[in-house]
Amino acid sequence: MKKLILLFVLFAVAACDRKIGYYDLKNENETYSYDGELYSGTAVSDVEAENPSTVYEFREGVKQSEIKYYPEFAGGKVQYEKNYSMGRLSDEKEFSKDGLLLREEHYSWGMDGKATASVTWYDWCGKAKRKKSFVCDKNINIKYVNYDHFIPEPCK
């Protein structure tokens, strides 16, 4: 019986392990490193809006990012929106005191100049644990802190 329980636990850990991978951000505007590995990305939304070729790529099965641009301003239609997910690096204790391992963010800017930001945190198995929304002015910046956290400012 003990062997059966152990086998089940190992299978569950392995199944969850496949859902969250390392992230690899690729963009020419900014570089940063962790444990000797170089990553690059942009930290300011205005830069991305001017560069439609900006793409975030993620390894190990983490959801691919999606960036959509709406150049026209009509009837309050969203001008710019971005979705991306990122997996945490191997030492989750350094990044997450509450055990949440994946962060997904969505930003959109409307004709009224207001931006909305929605952030969802997931646990190791990809189950949503917490969601938070922000409303900001049009000058929102996405600030990179603590290796893998993008935080919207001046959102509170």
What tens digit of pLDDT does each residue of 70-100 get? 333 334 333 344 444 443 333 333 334 444 4
Give me the pLDDT at residue 111, please: 54
Q: What is the pLDDT of residue 15?
A: 34
pLDDT digits (tens, 9 = 90+) for 114-127: 555 566 655 545 55
Average the pLDDT over 38-63 and give the result.
33
CA dist list (Å): 110 to 4, 31, 54, 94, 128: 55, 29, 20, 36, 27
pLDDT over 50 (residue 128): yes
Amino acid at 129: K
- Looking at residue 38, its pLDDT comes to 33
Give the predicted TM-score (pTM) of the model: 0.29
Task: Return the HEC string of 115-149.
Answer: EEEEEEEECCCCCEEEEEEEEECCCCEEEEECCCE
pLDDT > 90: percent of the chain: 0
Alpha-carbon gap, residue 78 to 111, rounded angstroms: 7
- Band the pLDDT of 37: cuts 50, 70, 90: very low
- Do 114 and 54 contact (CB within 8 A), yes or no? no
Count of the separate structural domains present in the chain:
1
State the pLDDT at residue 129: 59
Output the pLDDT for position 116: 59
More reliable by pLDDT, 144 or 84: 84
pLDDT of residue 131: 60
Q: The tokens of 92 are what? A: 């989750």
φ/ψ (deg, to 5) at 15: -65, -45
Tokens of 16: 């969850």
Domain, as residue range, for 123? 2-153
Give the pLDDT score at 13: 36
Binned at pLDDT 50, 70 and 90, residue 108 comes out as low
pLDDT at residue 109 tops 50: yes
18 exposed, middle or buried (CB, 10 Å; 0-12, 13-18, 19+)? exposed
